[in-house]
Amino acid sequence: MLALQALHKRYGHIVALDDCSLEVPEGRVVGFLGPNGSGKTTAMRCIFGLVYLDSGEVTWRGESVTPAHRLHFGYMPEQRGLYPKMRVHEQLVYFARLHGVDRRKAEAASSLWLERLGLEDRARSNLEDLSHGNQQRVQLAAALVHEPGLIVLDEPFSGLDPVAVQVLAEVIREEARRGAAVVFSSHQLDLVEDICEDLAIIHQGQVVMSGHLESLRQQSPVRIVELATSDVPIESWLPRIEGLDILESSGDAATLRIPAGVRVDVILAAAMEAGHVRYFRYEPPDLTRLFLEAVGQ
Amino acid sequence: MTVLENIRLVALREVQVRIRSKAFLISTGIIMLVMVAGFGGAGLAEEYVGEFETAYDVGVVGQEAGATADALRETADRFGMEFNVVTYDSLGDAESRLADGGIDAVLVDRTELLFHGDTYDDVAVVSTEAVRQLELPARLDELGLSVEDLQPILQPSPLETTTLEPGDDVETASVVVAFGAMVLLFVAIVTYGQWVLNGVVEEKSSRVVEVLLSTIRPYQLLAGKVAGILALALGQLTILLALGLFMSVVSPDREIPAVAAWGVAAAAIWFVLGLIFYGFAYGVAGALISRQEEANHVTLPLMIMLGAGYFLTNIFVLNEPGGAGAMVTSLIPFTAPIAMPVRVAFGEAAPWEFLLAVGIMLVTILGAIVVGGRIYAGAILRIGPRVALREAWRFSR
């Protein structure tokens, strides 16, 4: 398991990480979410020693992370980068060898990954001669070619077409199945919901919510009610009920946020009294709502 | 993975990629061309003329052709040449042989020398002398003299030669080697230093550096890059030296004086030391910028340091290699890589001075690796505007 423990980092007056803690178990995929500038990239860089921490510790399997551990980590930074004027296969071999893989295994693994990503015929091309999408694939292979125990991907889905998104999602799932701990950041919440069971939300340098997605939804202190009544404008009856937080309303439909403990039958009764109820949904918040709740929106 | 293994991998990549690049192949080609054309070309051509154009095929026509042929062979031999002489019964045969290129010249009746196309002065001189020798006894007879009488006159005792002051051959060679070393070291350090800088900026601007630094330490990346480029530079210089050596074998007259040989060895040592130091410095300078266009800003201080080395060497060392100014210039680590080999070429650097300068340089290199490594680490991940030195120093902790 990877653990970030109470990380603190300031750049002058700017607080990048403020008591940031996160856990990524092996064999699991953790989605790492947060608004722009919340500290996702800084937190990920800490894992690789690219940021000098003011305090806190990063551990892997209970040990403080050293360069020796990092040989078994794979990293795809937000700012993609490989050598433009180096051949694709040689490049992958080079990255594998930097991670301590011997030459023969490095060459075999590089060929395997190129084949897996459909790039075997471009092995001898210079990277810069590949299309943008194919360069992204090589970048992914470079992060995975040494069969890492921990995989950290910073915004891996940005700029990918839907086909490439499916390929990457499948690769991420397979790597977790192989036993790797995987953490990736993303803005695309639907993708996160689709790929991972666990997530962590960072806000202003602090992980404000983390855990299993389904339990986070159940544990949320709020519930969402969506309802519609035929022929009767919402405005005419709903505002009369006290203690409701109306998120959205138009015509005869509305979306409400209520505390999880509140009895919902009061609302339902009022709706039935006002008119014919077309639909009535009572649910824990979805990921988008959870995210917005967590970052205080 | 050890530190050295990482440095080795980085250096190998540097060699692997650059050795295939057009820029490298072209620059190596140009160096070789310049070597052949400038240093060896003239000498080589001279030697070829001297060595291979000393054999001629000569035809002889007329009375006592056999005796004439013997005289020609003998005379040519005395002149260090080789005449392959053939006698012909008729002038017509000889002329047609001459016309088709089978022979170079025909001596007719000991009075006329025929050529076809090119005329050869060597052949004319040898033939004239041979004819003179053949006809000498008869002419002397007419004057009532014998060959024996004339021998002392024809073969005067050789003059005794003494020089009042030894020639300045060795000194001239030293100055040539010294000046050559100065220019070469300056150009080489600037060129290969620029390679290091370009490589660092390429890694930074292509952002590959973040992937690299997730596995290896910044100083390992920088050290590997400098080591790789040093290896390539030494490869190019070895080609250069090998070519030079080949030239001197082909033209044995051009012996390398002993002082010059030491000068070459010293230049090689200081080239390695200078490139390590300046290579690191150029690498650190490259880490401060994100675009090649900004290179001039950050290399200016290095150019000033190297320029100072060049000009102080010019002022002090070339004028008075044994003087105090020359000695100081050859001890200061920034200027030593250029100044010291020049002093060695003059034979003016005492062994202890040489060793002291090497010692000072090694300590400076260590310092450069520690200080430069930290600045590099602090700046290399900061993409964007040029990073100030102080900022880079602070940022790395």
Give me the CATH number covering residue A58.
3.40.50.300
Instruction: Collect all residues of chain B within an 8 Å Cβ-Cβ radius of residue A67.
Output: 215-217
Instruction: Collect all residues of chain B within an 8 Å Cβ-Cβ radius of residue A69.
Output: none
- Contact, B10 vs B220, CB < 8 A? yes
Higher pLDDT, B240 or B217: B217
Same domain, yes or no, for A198 and A67? yes
What is the domain extent for residue A37? Answer: 2-212
Question: Which of B214, B216, B383 is the mutation pick for testing A, counting most A CBs within 10 A?
Answer: B214
- Label residue B260 by pLDDT band (50, 70, 90): low
- Contact, A255 vs A226, CB < 8 A? yes
Helix (H) or strand (E) holding B82: strand B82-88
CATH of the domain at A279: 3.30.70
Same domain, yes or no, for A186 and A269? no
Q: Which residue in the set A50, A52, A100 is minimally distant from B210, CB to CB?
A: A50
Closest-CA residue of B relative to A128 is: B206
Instruction: Collect all residues of chain B within an 8 Å Cβ-Cβ radius of residue A97.
Output: 9
Q: Output the pLDDT for position A150.
A: 97
Residue B45 has pLDDT above 50, yes or no: no
Number of domains in chain A: 2
Q: Which residues lie closer than 8 Å to B257 by C-beta, 6 or more apart? A: B169, B170, B173, B174
Does the distance separating the beta carbons of A52 and B397 come in below 8 Å? yes
Please state the rounded mean pLDDT for residues B259-265.
70
Same domain, yes or no, for A193 and A290? no
Same domain, yes or no, for A69 and A193? yes
Instruction: Collect all residues of chain A within an 8 Å Cβ-Cβ radius of residue B21.
Output: 85
Residue A197 has pLDDT above 70, yes or no: yes
Please state the rounded mean pLDDT for residues B137-162.
71
Q: Output the pLDDT for position A243.
A: 74
Same domain, yes or no, for A133 and A79? yes
Enumerate domains of chain B plus CATH numbers.
Answer: 55-150 (3.40.190.10), 170-395 (no CATH)
Please state the rounded mean pLDDT for residues B154-169.
60
Q: Is B215 on the interface with A (CB under 8 A)?
A: yes
Same domain, yes or no, for A195 and A267? no
**Nearest C-alpha neighbor of A203 from the set A294, A107, A284:** A294
Higher pLDDT, A16 or B237: A16
Point out the domain boundary residue: A181, A212, A243. Answer: A212
Same domain, yes or no, for A13 and A33? yes
Does the distance separating the beta carbons of A85 and B211 come in below 8 Å? no
Least confident of A34-38, B53-57, B175-179, B252-256: B252-256
- Contact, B58 vs B83, CB < 8 A? yes
Residue A18 has pLDDT above 80, yes or no: yes
Q: How far is B373 from chain A (nearest CA, A)?
A: 14
Same domain, yes or no, for A44 and A131? yes
Closest-CA residue of B relative to A100 is: B1
Q: Output the pLDDT for position A233.
A: 84
**Nearest C-alpha neighbor of A183 from the set A58, A56, A280, A36:** A58
Q: Output the pLDDT for position B49.
A: 47
Q: What ipTM is given for this predicted complex?
A: 0.84
Q: How far is B217 from chain A (nearest CA, A)?
A: 8
Please state the rounded mean pLDDT for residues A163-173.
91
Please state the rounded mean pLDDT for residues B26-38.
74
Residue B110 has pLDDT above 90, yes or no: no
Grouping H, G, I as helix, E, B as strand and the rest as coil, residue A34 is: coil
Same domain, yes or no, for A226 and A176? no
Same domain, yes or no, for A206 and A226? no
- Contact, B36 vs B252, CB < 8 A? no
Does the distance separating the beta carbons of A79 and B207 come in below 8 Å? yes
Point out the domain boundary residue: A183, A212, A241. Answer: A212
Q: Which residue in the set B9, B202, B214 is minimally distant from A48, CB to CB?
A: B214
In chain A, what percentage of residues exceed pLDDT 70?
100
Grouping H, G, I as helix, E, B as strand and the rest as coil, residue A262 is: coil
Q: Which residue in the set A82, A90, A142 is minimally distant from B206, CB to CB?
A: A82
pLDDT digits (tens, 9 = 90+) for B113-127: 888 887 888 888 888
Same domain, yes or no, for A74 and A119? yes
Q: Is B17 on the interface with A (CB under 8 A)?
A: yes
Nearest-5° angle of CA B223, CA B224, CA B225?
A: 90
Residue A152 has pLDDT above 90, yes or no: yes
pLDDT digits (tens, 9 = 90+) for B271-310: 899 999 999 999 999 999 988 888 888 999 999 999 998 8
- Contact, A20 vs A4, CB < 8 A? yes
